[in-house]
Amino acid sequence: MISTQTDDFNVYTREAGPGKLTVSVECPSKAEMDVVDRGHGYTTVGYKVSKEGEYGIHVKYNDEHVPDSPSMVYIAPEAGDAKLVSVHGLRDRGLEVFQPFLLAVAFLLGVCSTPRKSLDVVLDVGAKSHAQGLHPL
In tens, the pLDDT along 20-74 reads 999 999 988 888 999 999 988 899 999 998 888 899 999 999 999 999 999 998 8
Residue 135 pLDDT: 47
Domain segments of the chain as ranges: 7-75, 80-134
CB 134 within 8 A of CB 121: yes
User: CA–CA separation, 130 vs 124, rounded Å?
Assistant: 7
Task: Domain 7-75: give its CATH code.
Answer: 2.60.40.10
- The share of the chain scoring above pLDDT 90, in percent, equals 28
> Lowest-confidence range among 13-22, 29-38, 89-98?
89-98
User: CA–CA separation, 130 vs 102, rounded Å?
Assistant: 16
